[in-house]
């Protein structure tokens, strides 16, 4: 009888772990800190699934504050970045810019202005390659070269602390290589798809429908529809009780579990 009970219990755990894994991997993990087990965060083996399943119990009462970080990938760009910075200043919103080191070298005055306006700057590699196709040495060289390029023009501590893989592409090897550099890998809880050809209204509708608490929104600084959508987005989220913060501040004010398992909180139409 004890053997039968044990077998049933193991089967239930395996099924629950499988369901937990399926749920957890429907969205990209939003944050990986240097001390987290990357294999257990993204892995498909039984140990990884069991670890995530166990965490769902230990963190079931995790506080999920109504904080939102607008993050902008790529650039800076000579035309769109100034327009974006003007809009953010008008809206009294500080955002996080994941800058490409090579582009920052090309437009140093814009890199300086991003910091001078009170925004956060983070590492988006030097040349924007697909890191899932790179070796460990190549991944680390891209991150460090990007960091050093940005530090020529800005002194934000986040340049040394926060990075995002281009296109959100990574492997376990990629993540572990970045962790060894003591970076936090910042991904997102929502991708409105502004890298495609979309209208401001489509960006807004997506963000309202897929809002989370807390939220890291993936946006791009080289897109005019994104800039046009910002006033309404900011107004709607503020009306719903959200506070706009940088990615670094959001990470400090919440937990990796709360971000990686953010609550879906659609804004009413």
Residues tagged active-site: 73, 220
Across the strands, what pairs with 122? Answer: 98
For residues 67 and 245, is the Cβ–Cβ distance under 8 A?
yes
For residues 218 and 192, is the Cβ–Cβ distance under 8 A?
yes
Two tokens, residue 212: 């989370």
Of residues 212, 239, 251, 265, the one with CA closest to residue 33: 251
Q: Which of 57-93 are b and which e, b meaning 16 or more Cβ less than 10 Å from the residue's Cβ?
A: eeeeebebebbbbbbbbbbbbeebbeebbebbeebeb
For residues 99 and 147, is the Cβ–Cβ distance under 8 A?
no
Two tokens, residue 19: 């369901």
Whole-number Å distance between alpha carbons of 170 and 179: 13
For residues 220 and 194, is the Cβ–Cβ distance under 8 A?
yes
């Amino acid at each position: 009888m004890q053997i039968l009970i044990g077998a049933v219990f193991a089967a239930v755990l395996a099924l629950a772990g499988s369901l937990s894994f399926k749920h957890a991997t429907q969205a990209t993990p939003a944050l990986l800190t240097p001390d987290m087990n990357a294999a257990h965060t993204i892995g498909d083996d039984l140990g990884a699934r069991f670890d995530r399943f166990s965490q769902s119990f230990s963190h079931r009462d995790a506080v999920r504050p109504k904080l939102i970080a607008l993050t902008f990938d790529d650039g800076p760009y000579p035309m769109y970045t100034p327009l974006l910075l003007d809009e953010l200043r008008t809206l009294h919103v500080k955002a996080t810019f994941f800058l490409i080191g090579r582009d920052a070298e090309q437009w140093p005055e814009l890199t300086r202005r991003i910091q001078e306006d009170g925004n956060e700057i983070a590492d988006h590699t030097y040349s924007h390659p697909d890191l899932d196709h790179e070796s460990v040495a190549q991944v680390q060289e891209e991150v460090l070269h990007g960091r050093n390029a940005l530090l020529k023009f800005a002194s934000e501590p986040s340049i040394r602390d926060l990075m995002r893989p281009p296109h959100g592409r990574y492997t376990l090897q990629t993540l572990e290589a970045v962790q060894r550099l003591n970076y936090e890998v910042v991904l997102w809880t929502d991708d409105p798809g502004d890298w495609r050809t979309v209208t401001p209204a489509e960006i807004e509708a997506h963000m309202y429908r897929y809002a989370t608490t807390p939220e890291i929104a993936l946006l791009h600084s080289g897109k005019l529809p994104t800039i046009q959508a910002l006033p309404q987005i900011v107004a709607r989220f503020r009306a719903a009780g959200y506070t706009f913060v940088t990615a670094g501040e959001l990470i400090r004010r919440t937990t990796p579990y709360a971000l990686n398992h953010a609550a879906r909180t659609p804004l009413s139409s």
